[in-house]
Amino acid sequence: MKDATILLVDDEQAILQLLETVLHKEGFHSIDKVKTSEEALCACERKSYDLIVLDVTLPNMSGIEACPFIRRLTDAPILFLSARDTDFDKLTGFAVGGDDYVTKPFNPMEIVARIKALLRRTRKPNPVVPTAPVQGGGVFDFGRFQLYEAAGELYVEGKAIPCPSLVFQLLLFLCKNPNRIFSKSELYERVWGVNSLRDDNTIMVHIHRIRERIEPDPAQPEFLVNVRGLGYKMVKKGLPYEY
């Protein structure tokens, strides 16, 4: 749990510093801090987080307004901080995608306790690597990496790699259909559902996150490749190519 990557979003430097100091004392050291919703969105596009602490009252775009956009990029639990304490405000926070809601002023140790509780619910301990190849049962072996459908686990070169559920679902679909090209719209329909809001950036962000996990060099992908003008495909050697 202590290796979790946390993003703190608040326009008050004192709160950012307080939370970072307390989290460091509790053993959390992978912490990023930003002051606006726009910076939070950019951070989530560049990096995968295990948890986000998001202030509601931010300049330009509030945390409530930003949350649905952040949700397109990550399924990491979001803990709202807010001076607004009505039931309506709290329900709104949960409705837009928040997982917890704490009102200001707050006890920093309560924030830490809630962060730990959210991480316990959403992060799995590293499982034991299978000692022998498993045949069938939803195991997809691409040599460098293996995907275990039933367990929801990704291994790269024998090491368990954390994989958020939306990233895992897209990777699983592509692994089930190797060497087939899918357009962005097809991926939306097959993975997210036909009623999902279509945003090219969402697919590209999740493609990037998959490459960060499975590729030797994400800038020059060998497995999840782009076919210019057509879409994406997961390459598996030894199988006939389908177009």
Q: Are 27 and 53 in contact (CB under 8 A)?
A: no
Pairwise CA distance, residues 19 & 108, whole Å: 7
pLDDT of residue 239: 57
| Helix then strand then coil, % of the chain, to nearest 5 | 40, 20, 40
Q: How many residues does the chain have?
A: 243
SS3 160: strand
Please identify every stretch of the chain with a pLDDT value under 70, giving residue numbers as ranges.
1, 123-137, 192-202, 238-243
Q: Are 43 and 18 in contact (CB under 8 A)?
A: no
pLDDT of residue 131: 41
pLDDT of residue 8: 97
Strands (E) located in 19-137: 30-34, 51-55, 78-82, 100-103
pLDDT of residue 174: 95
Alpha carbon 59 to its chain centroid, in Å, reads 25
Pair type for strands 100-103 and 139-141: unpaired
SS3 100: strand
pLDDT of residue 136: 44
Closest of 171, 169, 163 to residue 221, by C-alpha: 171
The model's pTM is: 0.55
